[in-house]
């Protein structure tokens, strides 16, 4: 919770437990590169999951896991839920998840969403879910999505509530990547006939690109770009190289950052630095290289619970240049990885005293970082460095 520094003389334990409200004063936190400033843009969000910035300073779209898509205006006003959003399977980790804008949004006004989708059965009949993606056109008055259409669905549906993944990224050529969890069904991540534990690559309309690595192979899903993923929680494009980067939850230990390459196997569950929550080993090769799999770019033996991620490439705060920011759900902090070329040379843990589960991290058009806090009274936070 954010501390009310401007009324410090009145602070009590009760006051310190109150969340910062929209329009409240900026709060300051120490960091290695100077004072970090945090202010709330909007609050009152039900487990916000992702944010996408609209052009021309018209605000941002924010998903709530409960199933709502909302507009947050430039002055911090929170809209009523937009209509035209698909029905979602909002149970456990499922719900309305990621949101991104079309690369041609100025022309087509298309908004892309991922969400968990049920199989239409009752619990007694075997209710299960998977990740789906679709798109709709944002109306001129920004109150609804028009003509929403589903363009992808994860089959078979295996999840009883966990490991949906669901991050969306467009690359420089306009291809759409969707990072998919293995639905807590470990073997499927290595099964190329299933879409669990995969990154898929699609055309903007959901079609399969002809140059995908497994197109034409028997008993292999042509959508697949990479496999062996457990539960991707953050994905972004490296602004300097154009490569796709991914972070994903390990089990007990073994959170990873991976550079996603065409046709590669990222190991789960054959290779992992983590163990089962029960303490039982998952793989005999714990922490060791397994032939035919990619070594993680970064791995944590103690899981921070990685979430949304963003590279910093704006000139607003020079000290953050060539940093990768990653939210942490379990350890309630913001991780900053400092790069020199293609190597991580330093890791910093920030905003620990804020005591917030950070779900998403995005660089805004103004060069500030924007965070979403995962709570039933969640917030959009604006983060910068004091000058």
Look at residues 337, 298, 307 and name the one whose alpha carbon lies nearest to residue 321: 337
* Residue 255 · residue 232 · CB < 8 Å: no
Look at residues 184, 80, 203, 70 and name the one whose alpha carbon lies nearest to residue 133: 203
Signed CA dihedral, 144, 370, 340, 231: sign only: negative
Residue 44 CB burial class (10 angstroms; 0-12, 13-18, ≥19)? middle
187 phi and psi angles, rounded to 5 deg: -60, -25
* Paired tokens of 157: 């549906």
105 phi and psi angles, rounded to 5 deg: -55, -35
Look at residues 222, 325, 213, 303 and name the one whose alpha carbon lies nearest to residue 264: 213
47 in active site: no
Residue 55 CB burial class (10 angstroms; 0-12, 13-18, ≥19)? exposed
From residue 90, give the alpha-carbon distance in Å to each of 46, 47, 131, 160, 208: 12, 11, 12, 11, 28
Report how far residue 231's alpha carbon sits from residue 352's, in angstroms, rounded to the nearest whole number: 24
* Paired tokens of 382: 């604006």
From residue 333, give the alpha-carbon distance in Å to each of 1, 205, 216: 12, 37, 44
Q: Strand pairing partners for 384? A: 37
From residue 366, give the alpha-carbon distance in Å to each of 246, 259, 314, 337, 369: 24, 27, 8, 21, 9
* Paired tokens of 321: 């240049």
Residue 339 CB burial class (10 angstroms; 0-12, 13-18, ≥19)? middle
Instruction: Considering the candidates 47, 163, 229, 249, report the single residue annotated as catalytic.
Output: 163
**DSSP 8-class letter at 48:** E
Q: What residues act catalytically?
A: 163
């Amino acid at each position: 919770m954010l501390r009310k520094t401007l009324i410090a003389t009145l602070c009590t334990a009760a006051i310190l437990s109150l969340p910062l409200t929209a329009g409240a004063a900026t709060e300051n936190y120490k960091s290695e590169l100077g004072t970090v400033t945090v202010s709330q843009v909007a609050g009152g969000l039900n487990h916000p999951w992702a944010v996408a910035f609209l052009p021309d300073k018209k605000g941002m779209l924010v998903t709530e896991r409960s199933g709502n898509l909302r507009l947050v205006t430039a002055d911090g006003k929170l809209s009523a839920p937009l209509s035209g959003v698909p029905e979602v399977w909002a149970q456990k980790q499922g719900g309305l998840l990621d949101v991104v804008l079309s690369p041609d949004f100025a022309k087509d006004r298309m908004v892309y969403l991922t969400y968990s989708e049920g199989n239409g059965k009752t619990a007694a009949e075997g209710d299960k879910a998977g990740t789906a993606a679709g798109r709709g056109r944002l109306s001129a008055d920004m109150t609804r999505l028009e003509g929403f259409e589903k363009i992808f669905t994860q089959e078979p549906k295996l999840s009883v509530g966990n490991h949906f993944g669901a991050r969306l990224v467009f690359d420089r050529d306009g291809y759409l990547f969707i990072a998919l969890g293995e639905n807590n069904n470990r073997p499927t991540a290595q099964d190329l006939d299933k879409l669990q534990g995969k990154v898929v690559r699609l055309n903007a309309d959901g079609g399969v690109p002809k140059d995908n690595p497994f197109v034409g192979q028997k008993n292999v899903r042509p959508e697949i770009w990479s496999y062996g993923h457990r539960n991707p929680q953050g994905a972004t494009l490296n602004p300097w190289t154009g490569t796709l980067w991914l972070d994903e939850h390990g089990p007990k230990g073994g959170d990873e950052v991976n550079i996603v390459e065409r046709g590669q196997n990222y190991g789960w569950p054959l290779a992992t630095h983590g163990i089962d929550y029960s303490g039982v080993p998952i793989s005999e090769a714990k922490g060791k290289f397994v032939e035919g799999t990619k070594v993680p770019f970064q791995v944590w033996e103690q899981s921070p619970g990685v979430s949304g991620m963003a590279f910093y490439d704006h000139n607003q705060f020079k000290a953050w240049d060539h940093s990768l920011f990653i939210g942490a759900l379990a350890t309630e902090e913001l991780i900053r990885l400092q790069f020199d070329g293609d190597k991580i040379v330093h890791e910093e843990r920030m905003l620990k005293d804020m005591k917030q589960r950070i779900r998403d991290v995005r660089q805004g058009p103004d060069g500030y970082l924007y965070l979403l806090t995962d709570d039933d009274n969640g917030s959009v936070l604006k983060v910068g460095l004091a000058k």
